[in-house]
Amino acid sequence: MELLKNKILEEGRVLGKDVLKVDSFLNHQIDVELFNEIGKEFKKRFQNKEVTKILTIEASGIGIACITAQYFNVPVVFAKKHEATNMDKDNYEAEIFSFTKNKSYTIKVSKKYILPEDKVLIIDDFLANANAASALISVVEQAKAEVVGVGIVIEKGFQNGRKVIEDKNIKLESLAILESMEDGKVIFKKLT
């Protein structure tokens, strides 16, 4: 997606070998106009799929999921990462190991909001090793619902997230795929 790739080149900042900071438009300040183009692109890429619900994870996934949901006319459900007061007791749970924080945490989704008949599109901002995506897939599987695909804004193509998801025979669409970020320079994979 050219618009997104140009935005990454203009405003993204590479930290170290594998961190891309995009907080000016994606995960702290939010460029809602760009999100609308992202939403349209996800609709185009999953146009042959029946989708009844979009599942994401707090916090940065929520904005992308909500704007995208307008093009599918479906509700969004977001998995909770943090202990929430008033959370139901009856939840699907899955563990995520965070490499950056070097610890595991548990995500929760109320059993009321993913039903066996749901056809779920998973949306998230980043894909690296697919730890978050795998946990969201696990939630959908526990609910005996169907994952119709995973839509990612920025994929770190030099990590193994794509393999993890495609090995489960799930369609993965990433709007920008990073081939490398060496010497502070972002190189995209040609196909994206």
Please identify which residue in 3, 97, 106, 110 interacts with a second copy, judged by CB under 8 A.
110
State which of residues 6, 17, 47, 58 lies at the interface with a second copy (CB under 8 A).
58
Residue 174: CB atoms within 10 A of its CB come to 23
CA 133/CA 186 separation, integer angstroms:
23
Does residue 35 belong to the site contacting a second copy (CB under 8 A)? yes
Among 1, 8, 67, 135, binds a second copy (CB under 8 A): 67
Among the listed residues 125, 128, 6, 16, the one whose alpha carbon sits nearest the alpha carbon of residue 60: 125
Neighbours of 90 (CB within 10 A): 9
Rounded (10°) CA dihedral 78, 6, 32, 184: 60
Interface with a second copy, residue 100, by CB under 8 A: yes
Say if residue 135 is preceded by a cis peptide, omega within 30 of 0: no
Tokens of 162: 């794509």
**What is the spatial distance between Cα 87 and Cα 99, in angstroms, rounded to a whole number?**
27
Q: Residue 86 interacts with a second copy (CB under 8 A)?
A: yes
Which is nearer to a second copy, 74 or 94 (by Cβ)?
A: 74
Question: Residue 85, interface with a second copy (CB under 8 A)?
Answer: yes
By the rule CB under 8 A, 93 interacts with a second copy: no
Residue 19 makes contact with a second copy by CB under 8 A: yes
95/46 Cα distance (integer angstroms): 27
Contact 121, 151 (CB under 8 A): yes
Output the smallest distance, CB 167 to a second copy, in A.
Answer: 27
Q: Is 156 assigned to a binding site?
A: yes
Is residue 106 involved in binding a second copy (CB under 8 A)? no
Residue 55, annotated as binding a ligand? no
Cα 110 from chain centre: 19
> CB-wise, 56 or 172, nearer to a second copy?
56
Half-sphere exposure of 10 (CA within 13 A, CB side): 8
Nearer to a second copy, 152 or 172 (CB): 152
Residues within the interface to a second copy (CB under 8 A): 15, 19, 21, 23-25, 28-33, 35-36, 58-59, 62-63, 65-67, 69-70, 73-78, 80, 82, 85-88, 100-101, 109-110, 112-113
Residues annotated in a binding site for xanthine: 20, 27, 156
